């Protein structure tokens, strides 16, 4: 943070303990957690709470926050984030028709967008309405450099292994709140335009970090 400002300074937050991991390792860790009998819902809840805390940090009371929740668990985390954010005007958009939701972004005039479109489940470049949503977010950032864009786990569109935007397009986040451990691609040069500051929310209720 810079003196007197709510904004992060765009530098990587190096406070993480767990080493960066691949997406396959993240999935392995997740699967081991469920296999140990830990339920998914409380983990998503804690992930959402971590995002909410960051969104509160970079906004002030009365600010408006648009929460975009996609169709998978990344969207699930975003829905919990919306639930936990206090003293802000929160609008939650659960995206069922991506094309139709573009107008929700175009019409938004507030201070922060939470990107819960896609996380590590992204498996191909975004197209159609999803591409349109991402372009609409990035256009808002371009028009309003003070807009905070908080990515849930990864900026939507980013391949967490390579750090490349699939199809050349991802959400341009100002902050990425990633769960468990930083995804290794996020540290690459190619990820820099998309990830912003990285915050590792390491304690979301998974089994202890299983890698060296």
Ligand X SMILES: NC(=O)C1=CN([C@@H]2O[C@H](COP(=O)(O)OP(=O)(O)OC[C@H]3O[C@@H](n4cnc5c(N)ncnc54)[C@H](OP(=O)(O)O)[C@@H]3O)[C@@H](O)[C@H]2O)[C@H](O)CC1
Annotated binding residues for K(+), written as ranges, equal 74, 115, 156
Q: Give 158's DSSP letter.
A: B
How buried is 134 (Cβ within 10 angstroms: 0-12 exposed, 13-18 middle, 19+ buried)?
A: buried
CB of 132 to ligand X, least distance (A): 12
Would you list which residues are annotated within the binding site for (6S)-NADPHX? 73-77, 119-125, 153
Select 73 or 140, whichever has its Cβ closest to ligand X.
73
Residue 73: name its binding partner from ligand X, K ion, none (Cβ under 5 to 8 Å by kind). Answer: ligand X
User: Which residues define the annotated binding site?
Assistant: 73-77, 115, 119-125, 153, 156
Distance in Å from the first CA to the final CA of the chain: 30
Binding residue for ligand X (CB under 6 A) from 67, 122, 186, 201? Answer: 122
Euclidean distance between CA atoms 163 and 100, whole angstroms: 29
Q: What is each CA distance from 42 to 159, 176, 206, in whole angstroms?
A: 26, 21, 10
Cβ 142 to ligand X shortest distance, Å: 22
Residue closer to ligand X (CB basis): 152 or 200:
152
CA atoms of 158 and 168, how far apart (whole Å): 9
Of K ion, ligand X, none, which one does residue 115 interact with (CB within 5 to 8 Å by kind)? K ion
């Amino acid at each position: 943070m810079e003196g007197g400002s709510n904004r992060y300074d765009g530098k990587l937050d190096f406070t993480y303990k767990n080493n960066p991991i691949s997406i396959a390792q993240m999935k392995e860790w997740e699967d081991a957690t469920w296999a140990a009998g830990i339920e998914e819902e409380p983990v998503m809840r804690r992930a959402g709470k971590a995002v909410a805390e960051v969104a509160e940090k970079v906004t002030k009371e009365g600010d408006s926050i648009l929460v975009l929740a996609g169709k998978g668990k990344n969207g699930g985390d975003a829905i919990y984030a919306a639930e936990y954010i206090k003293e802000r005007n929160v609008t939650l958009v659960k995206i069922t028709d991506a094309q139709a939701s573009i107008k929700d972004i175009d019409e938004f005039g507030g201070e922060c967008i939470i990107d819960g479109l896609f996380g590590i489940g992204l498996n191909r470049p975004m197209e159609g309405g999803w591409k349109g949503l991402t372009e609409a977010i990035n256009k808002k950032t371009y028009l309003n450099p003070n807009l905070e864009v908080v990515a849930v786990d990864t900026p939507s569109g980013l391949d967490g292994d390579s750090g490349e935007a699939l199809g050349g397009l991802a959400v341009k986040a100002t902050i990425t709140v990633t769960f468990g451990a930083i995804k290794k691609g996020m540290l690459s040069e190619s990820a820099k335009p998309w990830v912003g500051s990285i915050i590792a929310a390491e304690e979301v209720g998974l089994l202890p970090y299983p890698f060296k």
